[in-house]
Amino acid sequence: MGNVTSSVAARFAFFPPEPATYEVFREGGAEGRLCLSGLSPERNVAVHLVETKVGNRVVATFWRHPLARFTLLYSHGNAADLGQMLDLFFELRAHLRVNIMSYDYSGYGASTGKPSEFNTYYDIEAVYDCLKKEYGIKQEDLILYGQSVGSGPTLHLAARLQKLRGVVLHSAILSGIRVLYPVKLTFWFDIFKNIDKIRQVNCPVLVIHGTADDIVDWTHGKRLWELSKEKYDPLWIKGGGHCNLESYPQYIRHLRKFINAMEKLSVAKQTTQSSLPTSTITEVKHNKCLRFGKR
């Protein structure tokens, strides 16, 4: 059954750029540090090859900000790879003052393997493990960001992590089939069943969607927001399409407002915990992002 689902997904959900828009290489030979073409050293970006539980090697980049309070784990859309999104990550890091961990799905860019729904889940799990082991990032300091099809792996991980700081859903889908057909029921062969997983997310959820999105109708975002347990003020960008929301000034303003709210929430929780008895304390550029259609 899983193989059937994966084949359905591969047929209409994954469009990795061919050829890849970047290369990964080692500076100074086999023992040198990993580098990504198009990234100069002064941009302060670390490159990783992360192995998933099924043996694929996924390219991940960690964009460090010296004053970061939070880390954004960014899952991109289905018709882009990391090479096309470098300028966006550079701008987000600067304006939001966050670290950013971005990665390419299996079969995208220089990542090995083949694209599939379940591989995207293994990919984000492996990248999250890298964040914990290499950088000591805690759930409380992590915000998951899913753009378009990237909302699938984002909500997969968010439903499993109970102490996340927040989730951002950007032009997100209710499920794969619902992008193509307005079905009411969830079928077993559907992919990225976000409509079910959003109900298991226990942190603040920000939804961003364009009202003129002609690929994923804005009602997908509206329904995901309605089903969220902890709703943050959504951003409906009037006239915004599917792949151009970053060009609207309210996009970065609203994201910055959300980050600031998460910082205040974190401080408030720490203050509340510290006042309790010790025994009760417990631990912009447009980018290609999604296409649908049979190959």
Q: What is the DSSP string of 134-183?
A: HH---GGGEEEEEEGGGHHHHHHHHTT-TT-SEEEEES--S-HHHHHS--
Residue 67 amino acid letter:
L
Q: How far apart are CA 92 and CA 71, in angstroms?
A: 11
Angle, CA 12 vertex, CA 8 and CA 17 arms, to 5°: 125
Please, are residues 73 and 141 in contact by the beta-carbon 8 Å criterion?
Answer: no
Q: How many residues in total does the chain contain?
A: 295
Catalytic residue, candidates 75, 102, 106, 148: 148
Q: Which residue has the tokens 């073409």?
A: 37
Q: Are 119 and 194 in contact (CB under 8 A)?
A: no
254 is a catalytic site residue: no
- Let me know the angle formed at the C-alpha of 253 by 251 and 256, rounded to the nearest 5 degrees: 110
Using DSSP, how many helices (H) and how many strands (E) does the chain show?
8, 11
Given the residues 213, 217, 220, 254, select the one marked as catalytic. 213
For this structure, is 87 an active site residue? no
Q: Distance (Å, rounded) from C-alpha 105 to C-alpha 17? A: 12
In the three-class reduction of DSSP (H, G, I as helix; E, B as strand; rest coil), residue 93 is classed as: helix
Cα separation, 59 vs 130, in Å, equals: 11
> Is the Cβ–Cβ distance between 283 and 170 less than 8 Å?
no
213 is catalytic: yes
Give the Cα separation of 163 and 151 in Å (integer).
18
| Cα–Cα distance for residue pair 13/11, rounded to 1 Å | 6
Catalytic residues: 148, 213, 242
